Amino acid sequence: PKGDLGAIDDNPFKLDVAKAKELLAKAGLADGFKVTMDVRTGQPTTGMAESIQQTLGQAGIQLEIIPGDGKQTLTKYRARNHDIYIGNWGQDY
Quick one: which H or E segment has residue 33?
strand 33-40
Would you say 71 and 38 are in contact if contact means Cβ atoms under 8 Å apart? no
Q: Where are the domains of the chain?
A: 32-86
pLDDT tens digits for range 45-91: 999 999 999 999 999 999 999 999 989 999 999 999 999 999 877 76
CA gap 19, 22 in Å, rounded: 5
Condensed to tens digits (0 to 9), the pLDDT of residues 8-31 reads 888 888 999 999 999 999 999 999
Statement: the pTM of the whole predicted model exceeds 0.75: yes
